[in-house]
Amino acid sequence: MIDRLIEPLAPIHGAAARTACAAGLALPLLGGPTAFALCRLIERDPRPGRPEIVAVRDIPPSWALVRDRITTPPSAAGLPGGPLVMGILNATPDSFSDGGLMLEPSRAIAAGLRMAGQGAALIDVGGESTRPDATPVPPDVEQARILPIVRGLARQGVAVSVDTRHAATMRAALDAGAVLLNDVSALSHDTDATAVVAAAGCPVVLMHMRGTPQTMAGLGRYDDVAVETVRELGARIDAATAAGVARTRILVDPGIGFAKDAAGNLELLRRLPILANLGCRIVLGVSRKGFIGALGQEPDPRARLPGSLAAGLPALALSGSILRVHDVAATVQAVRLWQAMNG
């Protein structure tokens, strides 16, 4: 259980970050090129009289373990290092922006190869939509949709992730050549899922969500969405490691749009550095989501690339972050520019 959190404030990038760290005025965020000079000390039961916001050099010695966790580079989780782009490939009839486009395996494989050629380090293949109120899909139907695609891409050397909540689909996908599992339920939907991941020793993404796609819309009330998301993800990490999943193979996704309204999404995106308290690589999926359309006044999900880039790029302040996107080429270009400016 995570009782103490240190929330990094006012991130500093590039040469200024290096200078501030060398002078002892800042600390590196997850060991990366971004630093922070101020932070908020968050306790489950705050002590009266203790300052909430402090300079990093004034972090109390009793908080050293928390400080070290948020400043140490996370495990690569068996994946290439540095910021990565993950391409979304939905073999579903009802996904919110691309449903029905990739049901034909040959077309989906061609799209996956195209995204890999554009610079996607991973292709995330899904056969069940998890948008709000989506109809659940049985594992056999899900497998019929995705396994030909997974096999086709894996045979051509593409690193495939599979977006699934079902243990049977996880096993079949790994047998077909998938290298990573991405579970929106953080291994809570299927009681056999954790054992599958533990036995395989593969990387796994644990995403924050309350309830299910059918019930999550009514579960989005928080006292502090950023703190509660971190603590609830921390509990899922603890459950997974207790069941034999190696912590060094865990990645986390804050679940933008899952049991969070537009205000909650924005608050969490503004405070992404707080996720460093989990000590894991971050996967962020904001691509084309509804809050971007509402705020950017763009009803067509396929026309939300500018907003998707604006919402996603701040995650690169967290070392080794992975952006899960529909528009690979544009995102890869944006990541390269961000690195050139800030690395």
* Calpha distance 256→7 (Å, rounded): 19
If one compares 48 and 180, the residue with the highest pLDDT of the two is: 180
Structural domain 84-342, CATH architecture: Alpha-Beta Barrel (3.20)
| pLDDT band for position 173 (cuts 50, 70, 90) | very high
Asked whether the predicted pLDDT for residue 49 surpasses 70, the reply is no
Q: What per-residue confidence (pLDDT) applies to 96?
A: 55
| pLDDT band for position 133 (cuts 50, 70, 90) | confident
299-318 confidence digits (pLDDT tens): 999 999 999 999 999 999 99
* Calpha distance 267→260 (Å, rounded): 10
Q: What per-residue confidence (pLDDT) applies to 202?
A: 98
Average pLDDT over residues 177-203: 97
Asked whether the predicted pLDDT for residue 1 surpasses 90, the reply is no
Residues in the chain: 343
Nearest to 124 by CA among 106, 139, 141, 112: 112
Q: What per-residue confidence (pLDDT) applies to 8?
A: 98
Average pLDDT over residues 270-297: 97
β partners of residue 43: 4
Tell me 222's DSSP state. -
* Calpha distance 338→343 (Å, rounded): 8
* Calpha distance 41→67 (Å, rounded): 10
Q: Where are the domains of the chain?
A: 4-71, 84-342
Asked whether the predicted pLDDT for residue 71 surpasses 60, the reply is yes
Q: What per-residue confidence (pLDDT) applies to 127?
A: 94
Q: What per-residue confidence (pLDDT) applies to 98?
A: 60
β partners of residue 125: 89, 162
Q: What per-residue confidence (pLDDT) applies to 93?
A: 79
CA distances to 84, 89, 237, 240, 328 from 19, in Å: 26, 42, 35, 39, 33
140-151 confidence digits (pLDDT tens): 999 999 999 999
76-126 confidence digits (pLDDT tens): 999 999 999 999 999 987 555 565 566 789 999 999 999 999 999 999 999
User: What sign does the dihedral 172-175-177-178 (CA atoms) show?
Assistant: positive
Percentage of the residues of the chain whose pLDDT score is greater than 90: 86
Average pLDDT, whole number, for the chain? 94
CA distances to 26, 59, 75, 195, 213 from 18, in Å: 9, 20, 22, 42, 43
CA distances to 54, 254, 311 from 315, in Å: 23, 11, 8
Point out the residues that are catalytic: 289, 324
β partners of residue 123: 87, 160
CA distances to 139, 198, 200, 232, 242 from 195, in Å: 17, 5, 8, 20, 11
Percentage of the residues of the chain whose pLDDT score is greater than 70: 96
Among 98-102, 159-163, 214-218, 249-253, the minimum mean pLDDT is found in 98-102
Average pLDDT over residues 245-249: 98
Place of tokens 């990573």: 180
Tell me 72's DSSP state. S
CB 128 within 8 A of CB 164: yes
Whole-model pTM over 0.85: yes
